[in-house]
Structure formats: structure tokens, C-alpha cells
Amino acid sequence: MSNIESGFHKRNGVLHIDNISLTNVAKKYATPCYVYSASVIRKQYKALKSALEQALPADKQPLLCYACKANSNIAIIKILKNLGSGLEIVSEGELARGLKAGFSGKQIISTSFGKSDAEIKACLKADILQFNIESPDELYSINTQAKNMGKTANVAFRLNPNISGGGHSKISTGRKDDKFGNTKEDILKLYEIAKEMQHLNPVGVSIHIGSQIVQSDAFKPGFERLADLVKTLRSAGHKVTHLDIGGGFPINYNNEILLNLNEYAKLVRDIILPLDTQIQMEPGRYMVGNAGILLTKVQYIKQTPSKKFAVLDAGMNDLIRPTLYDAYHDISPVIDHNKGKRIYDVVGHICESGDIFNKNHEIATLHKGDLVVIKSVGAYGFSMASNYNSRPLPAEILIDGNKICTIGKAQSIDELMIRENIPDWL
């Protein structure tokens, strides 16, 4: 293993992941495709784990439940499982993926919003560790299903702390007008109700204020409100044994100064640890975001009177973040031919003006057929891809040292229509 360079780097002018050149990846697999680095995922997990190990005692280490909405490919989930992670799920589909990757129910937390009966049953069947309650009526649904199945479900209540956190309004989740969580007053009532229900076991509270949070200070007021709630619950005679302190850790998109993990871990030590509970966390983006690129080809260069467009063979169907959140993703050529730089609007192949990956982007001069990578797309990239414009889903490729494998096949045109049917009266 000693000759393996890990992660993304240039070798002889060509972008590589570990020991594999992206020109070879494009030759072997069609573009566009997502390409992930297993070593970067491991590095991210270990960095967070080690910050927590330094700040917290061994018997109080948080259970890191990977939020697989960020990237739910079963091979990616399996990498996290092998590292010792737990799993956070938000649907029956994500539960099935977690079980397929080898997680046991006791490593899984459901934070799903609007849990269906089928989903609740599947979670109970798998004996998941905990349901985080979003809406009061979920208590009745879970209790009824648990009674029918002769089980008891652990429930925790998500607090809405009325705090804004995160990189974009659409990914901030803890403000009072957001649909997520419950007020402190409601949680006090709900704890009481849950205690009376025979098939529920109220174990604690949870919080998640948003995503791509770069300042450790932003976590502080939420933690303080959580601590205040725990004290109030305890003084009302309730047991609080589990605290889920959420996710929201940032990654590098545009050379941001990122959250200092040691400062974050100290906040956990100072505010959460003294509450003497099991601690759970739900990081998604942080684990996988910087581990993935979208490998794509310049289909055309188009010059108009006012603009030079680089038209890629990918689009907002493959990666919707720039269109949906005005998210910045850096774009670089796989090989820089050293012919100077130019400014392009780098756009996709979808028939919408909003299908822009990067506007006025300065990049090495591009030509038809050049390979480029769109960076930091390992989280909320493929998992939010669609078939819009009847474009097939791209392949997903995993690189691990000298090894490379398709972990998600590209869809074929036939597969696009496989679930559709023309009624016989037409």
C-alpha cells in the first residue's frame, strides 16, 4: 500500500483519485459519472472521531449515525459501517439500504418527517434503536403499530430551538416557522403522553439546526436550549438517557474556513457531556461530500454575442445543487493543456435557463471533448439526481487505492420506461 497516494491529486498533469487516472475512468466508463474516493470518506470519519476522542471520555463517545440521505449508495453506506458508524435514515427505502449494507436495527435512528405506517412497521420489524418524533400524531401511529407487533419503541423528541443555522435558507431547519421539531412546551406534554403509552419508551431529545454550518458558535445556542430542556424534563420526573445532537458539519466547496472540529468537540464536552446521557450525532455531508466528483465531458463550446458557454454532457438532472440552492461547485479540467484561462458559463444539457453549473467561471481554455470534474458532489449529488428531460441516471464508480468498481450502473434508455405502462384502451 505504500505507493498509493490517497485522495485527489495531479500526477503527470492528469487528475487522479488514489492511483487511478480520471482519463482512464472516462475511457472505461461513460461520462457523465460520479466517482468517489473511499480513502477520503475514511479520512473524514476518522478526523471527526479523533476530535471527539480527544475531548470526551472513552465511555461517552457519541454514536456517529451517518445521515445517508447525503449519499445512500449501499457501497458508500458499507464503508461507513465498516468504520464503526451507525446510521440515520429518513424513509423505508433508506432503512432497506442500511439493512442491505449490514447494519443491525440497533445501529439505526429514524428521523423521518411524516413517517408512514408501512415505514414505522418496517422500522419496528428491524428493531431500530430510536424514532425521533417530528409531529405529535406520530406517537399514536408508532404506539399502535408497536402494540400490533408486540414491541416497545424508543422515542426521542426533536426540539425546534428557533435558531437559524446553515449555508442557505432552504437547508436551515431550526427556525420557528420551519416544519421541523417541536417547541419545548410541546415536548414536555408529549413526554407525559408517551410515558402513559404502553408501547412507547420516551428516551430523550434531539436537535438538528441546519446543514453546512461553518461556525462552531452557531451550535452553541441550540446545545444550550437542549440542555435547558433536559433539566426541565428531569425536574418534571422524566428520564432522559439519549441526546441526539444532529449533523450539519461543513465541507469545502470554495476554500471556506471550515468548522474547527476540536472547538465543536469542546462545546459537546462543556454543554452536552455534563447531562450524562448517551450522545448521538447525525453527520451526512461531512462524511462524503468532498469524496465525490462528477466526471463529465465538454460536449460543445458555444459563443454568443455576450457569452462563451461550455456545454457539458451532464445537467441539473445529475446535479441539482447549483440550480436549487445557488450552490458553488468548483470545476476543473482533468488535464490542463496550459493554453491560458478563459471565462465560461459552464452549463448543462437540460432545456432550462437555470441549468448552470457555474456562471462566469474562470477555467483553463476548454475544447470539445475535454474532460472536466465538478467537485465536492459526494453529498446530495447523486442522491438528488432525477430523470428530468428523460436523461438516464449516471453511473457511480468507487476508487479505493488500486481498486475500482461500478457501485451504481448507469441507467439505460429502456430502463427509463420500465415502470411505465400504456393502458390497453389507448
Binding site for ligand LLP (CB under 6 A): 67, 70, 88, 111, 171, 173, 208, 211, 246-249, 282-286, 321, 325, 380
Task: Tell me the three cell numbers of residue 371.
Answer: 474532460
Q: Please identify, using beta-carbon distances, which residue of 166 and 202 lies nearer to ligand LLP.
A: 166
Is the separation of the CB atoms in 41 and 291 below 8 Å? yes
Distance of closest approach, residue 108 Cβ to ligand LLP, in angstroms = 13
Collapsing DSSP to helix, strand or coil, 298 comes out as strand
The minimum distance between CB 210 and ligand LLP, in angstroms, equals: 7
Catalytic residue, from 33, 123, 351, 405: name it: 351
Site of grid cell 447494519: 103
Number of neighbours of residue 171 by Cβ within 10 angstroms: 18
Containing 200, the helix (H) or strand (E) segment is strand 200-206
Q: Which three cell numbers stand for residue 36?
A: 468517489
Alpha helices in 297-408 (DSSP H): 321-325
- Phi–psi pair at 47, nearest 5 degrees: -65, -45
Residue with smaller CB distance to ligand LLP, 15 or 63: 63
Closest by Cα among 122, 126, 112, 157 to 139? 157
Closer by beta carbon to ligand LLP, 173 or else 296: 173
Q: Considering beta carbons, is residue 101 or 298 the nearer one to ligand LLP?
A: 101
Cell output for 115: 413517517
> How far lies 202's CA from each of 196, 206, 258, 279, 378, in Å?
10, 12, 35, 15, 35
Q: Which three cell numbers stand for residue 272?
A: 452536552
> What does the block give as the cell for 83?
468504520
Beta carbons within 10 angstroms of residue 229's beta carbon: 23
Count of CB atoms situated within 10 Å of the CB of 238? 18
* Cα distance between residue 282 and residue 12, in whole Å: 39
Question: Least distance (Å) from ligand LLP to the CB of residue 88?
Answer: 6
Q: Cα–Cα distance between 332 and 362 in angstroms, integer?
A: 9
**Chain Cα centroid distance, residue 284:** 4
H-assigned helices in 138-260? 138-149, 184-196, 220-235
Closer to ligand LLP by CB, 124 or 213: give it. 213
Catalytic site includes residue 405: no
Q: Closer to ligand LLP by CB, 88 or 138: give it.
A: 88
Q: Write out the H or E segment, with its range, that includes residue 68.
A: none
- Pick the closer one to ligand LLP by CB: 145 or 212: 212
Instruction: Give 75's DSSP letter.
Output: H
Task: Give the active site residues.
Answer: 351
